[in-house]
Structure 1
Amino acid sequence: MKLTILGGGGFRVPLVYGALLGDHAEGRVTHVVLHDLDAGRLSAVTRVLAEQAAGVPDAPEVSATTDLDEALTGADFVFSAIRVGGLEGRANDEKVALDEGVLGQETVGAGGIAYGLRTVPVAEDIARRVARVAPDAWVINFTNPAGLVTEAMSRHLGDRVIGICDSPVGLGRRIARVLGANPGEAWIDYVGLNHLGWVRGLRINGRDELPRLLADPDLLGSFEEGKLFGTDWLQSLGAIPNEYLHYYYFNREAVRAYSEAEKTRGAFLRDQQAGFYDEMKRPDAAALTAWDRTRAEREATYMAEARETAGAGERDADDLSGGYEKVALALMRAIARDERTTLILNVRNRGTLSVLDAEAVIEVPCLVDANGAHPVTVDPLPDHASGLVCSVKAVEREVLAAAESGSRTTAVKAFALHPLVDSVNVARRLVDGYTAVHPGLAYLK
């Protein structure tokens, strides 16, 4: 089975390949094609994968190309893990927003809108190419903003594109762990949009154990989200939010922490990963060792500003292992081998959430089999959550409209309607600022 990874020179690709190395069953991936526009990054990542594969007799073959059609031809699965504008673009997303006093995080608020505006046209072009060159392939979208990009691609690929994220998986795992349950045996009642969802129940043997967690302040405060949001707020909500909701519930504090940081997250990763890729230019560099060292630092500093604001301290060791690659492997297995499973995924709504239309991409538990991912019926969200979901989905739709029309006016509307942008005038200045630093936004007129 052939897997094509778009953005194959990206830093997290070895996580995916590492997961594939542990799959020895019949029908596994036997050929991985890395595609990237940067031949140097492709070379660096290929070296890491070669060292990972050493001593694994049935390791998937790896090839690399800068030709998109060549990469897609014959693919059974396509992972879309691109970053339009690179980490320099992410750093600029953050800086332009912070200069206006609003959040610039890469998927939330102004930064997420800017990232979406320059990514959607590229993602749609990829979707059209997949439909033409590899019409039987399943596309698994890693590209952020994951829900928005998945919805853009679904307009060309229908249900054959599925978005994934490791945040809900990690959240469910942490809740199960503090409750003394096996995460693999728990049913997680999670619903929302990507980076905007809530766990409302966790059932073990048919019994919802979340009320027990919410009633115990010590237990509730013992894991990441309890420290991040505070036990009182979680008890008020009666649910456990995705960690990214910290940017909504504690927005002033988050903006201040980002503004006072020595470097934004994007600038930190830009400089850190530049160091890794520079090291890989040396023929004698130990590729896997350098990658492991860089990854450990990256994971340990994840959402550092938010945790500092909340006084949450350092991340637990168990939360430093990633997770999205495991979701991707489970998804591929379920589709390719009809190994039916339940995963939290980004898929078209199809009536699952009554407040959104059928084509809206949402993040919910799905039953997955050889025919794809099927969203599970969920209870309605409470009013406060529905309002936020509808508001952010409306912004996503304006981003899609701006990308399609090239309208600067529509782009301004997308920024202005976001709950974390507090002024139409700020929205106009954000569009001016982003178009000045991002060549990929030159299409907005």
Structure 2
Amino acid sequence: MDLLKIAVIGGGSSYTPELIDGFIKCYNEMKVDEIWLVDIEEGKEKLEIVGNLAKRMISNAKLKTKIVLTTDRKEAIRDASFVLTQLRVGGLDARANDERIPIENGIIGQETTGAGGFAKAIRTIPVILDICKDIKSLSKDAWLINFTNPAGIMAEVVNKYTDVKVIGLCNVPITMKHNIAKALDVAVNRIYIELMGLNHFVWGKRVFLDGKDVTDIVIKKLCDGAGLNMNNIPDLDWDPRLLESLGMVPCPYHRYYYMQEEILKEEIESFRNKGLTRAVEVKEIEKELFDIYKDENLNTKPEQLEKRGGAYYSDAAVSLINSIYNDKKDIHTVNILNNGAITNIDNNVVVEVNAVVGKNGPMPICVGAAPNSIKGLIEVVKSYELLTVRAGVDGDRKVALQALSIHPLIPSFSKADKVLNELIDTNKQYLPQFK
């Protein structure tokens, strides 16, 4: 790795200043020579706005890192050491449909799980596989660091259909860690969470403060109303009886499962009364952000970016790259093949667990067996993910219908069938595999 080149696919994303900020903070440990921000032609205007802000941020930090803006994905990937994917096929309009169509059919509309997450996955799978082809031909030793949702499904498809080195990454685990540290009023580096599960479906089996098990204390804090949420999820209080009986710390996304009825009611009311889904709100936030990014006097990450929902993204992504590049062998929560981490789950499927990360990549840390209280849930959601991968690669409607029919957020076969037809019809321009 003589030249440290980073390619960011989806470089015109509103998240990019967060990422650039992370590379700036980490420069003393990892001097990045080039960051190539690449986007599609339709995203060129946003790429220019974000890219110019990135250049001002680098200049303000007095760094030598070169920022390159391009719509040529192959040139961005060529000889890159790391390829980061943070793309959204179809943009926020597609996300709005992912949320709207399920809600109109009386089921939860969410962009990364359930019917909405399925639609996002099958749109994204062909693009991710194309990117992997470019990596193998232009930079075969590069690491693919995928932040594109559904991150677990993307890691699964890359592992099953390519030999690209991939690590799936999400900001949920690091957000949980920060929120728990805040609840305990301690520095975040004193907290360690023993995590097990899937992407956006992970539990804190045990929580440690300076090596001491404080799981019960954290659960008590949550029962008393301590915050453990993210900007893009309805902030409903946990039922203390659920937390006490579970004996583990759920992630914010578990509200969609454990509080399905309450969240669905809230989504339907918001949609009927205001025509609002989260995508509509994000559109407004992004409009505000890009107006701010245009300010030629702005040369740092703006505070308003925190509203977007990607808190600690740069901490997670940049520190992971740093661990590989500098062979640090520190611990990260990642989406990788199980390989014995959760002892009663198939070794050859992608899970979200802690791993020791060095120059050879992640080595999963064994967390033991998943308790019966969550094992069944993990198994059924993983089965949904595996079926979604097959459907997304092969364009098989029968397999797609199986995937939606078993998902816990979809209550019946008839609902699955209707929603599937509507989603495929609405997204047909992005689904060449289904033609």
SS at match of 2:60: coil
Q: Tell me by how many angstroms 1:363 deviates.
A: 0.5
Q: Look up the match of 1:101.
A: 106
Q: Distance in 2 between matches of 1:290 and 1:52?
A: 5
Q: Distance in 1 between matches of 2:188 and 2:291?
A: 39
Q: Tell me by how many angstroms 1:443 deviates.
A: 3.1
Matches within 5 A, 1:206-285: 206-214=211-219, 216=220, 220-224=224-228, 228-261=237-270, 262=274, 263-274=276-287, 276-277=289-290, 285=295
Matches within 5 A, 1:13-28: 13-25=16-28, 27-28=30-31
From 329, 350, 371, the equivalent of 2:318 is 329
From 354, 361, 386, the equivalent of 1:365 is 354
From 36, 40, 48, the equivalent of 1:43 is 48
C-alpha contact 2:223 2:240 (8 A) present in aligned 1: no
From 75, 81, 92, the equivalent of 1:76 is 81
Q: Distance in 2 between matches of 1:204 and 1:40?
A: 46
Q: Distance in 2 between matches of 1:267 and 1:291?
A: 23
Distance 1:434 1:209, change over 3 A: same
Q: Distance in 2 between matches of 1:270 and 1:115?
A: 17
Q: Tell me by how many angstroms 1:108 deviates.
A: 1.6
C-alpha contact 2:393 2:433 (8 A) present in aligned 1: no
Q: Look up the match of 1:154.
A: 159
Q: Tell me by how many angstroms 1:213 deviates.
A: 3.0
Q: Tell me by how many angstroms 1:430 deviates.
A: 0.9
C-alpha contact 1:150 1:361 (8 A) present in aligned 2: yes
Q: Look up the match of 2:394.
A: 405
From 324, 327, 330, the equivalent of 1:338 is 327
Q: Look up the match of 1:418.
A: 407
Residue 182 (1) aligns with residue 171 (2): no
C-alpha contact 1:51 1:288 (8 A) present in aligned 2: yes
Q: Distance in 1 between matches of 2:162 and 2:214?
A: 38
C-alpha contact 1:176 1:202 (8 A) present in aligned 2: no
Matches within 5 A, 1:139-150: 139-150=144-155
Distance 1:106 1:287, change over 3 A: farther
Matches within 5 A, 1:58-73: 58-73=63-78
Q: Distance in 2 between matches of 1:15 and 1:380?
A: 36
Q: Tell me by how many angstroms 1:423 deviates.
A: 1.2
Q: Look up the match of 2:338.
A: 349
Q: Distance in 2 between matches of 1:394 and 1:125?
A: 24
Matches within 5 A, 1:279-294: 285-286=295-296, 288=298, 292=302, 294=304
1:28-64 superposed Cα distances (whole Å, 9 cap, x missing partner): 2121000100221210111221232233221521001
Q: Tell me by how many angstroms 1:206 deviates.
A: 3.1
SS at match of 1:224: coil
C-alpha contact 2:132 2:164 (8 A) present in aligned 1: no
Distance 1:136 1:412, change over 3 A: same
Q: Look up the match of 1:310.
A: none
C-alpha contact 2:204 2:249 (8 A) present in aligned 1: yes
TM-score (normalised: structure 1): 0.88
Distance 1:431 1:218, change over 3 A: closer
Q: Look up the match of 1:302.
A: none
Residue 443 (1) aligns with residue 408 (2): no
Give 2:89's aligned amino acid. V
SS at match of 2:237: helix
Identity across matched positions, percent:
30
C-alpha contact 2:333 2:355 (8 A) present in aligned 1: yes
C-alpha contact 1:435 1:442 (8 A) present in aligned 2: no
Which structure 2 residue ranges, 5 or more long, are not aligned?
230-234
Give 2:405's aligned amino acid. A
SS at match of 2:193: strand
Distance 1:291 1:203, change over 3 A: closer
Give 2:244's aligned amino acid. Q
Q: Distance in 2 between matches of 1:324 and 1:296?
A: 10
Q: Look up the match of 1:120.
A: 125
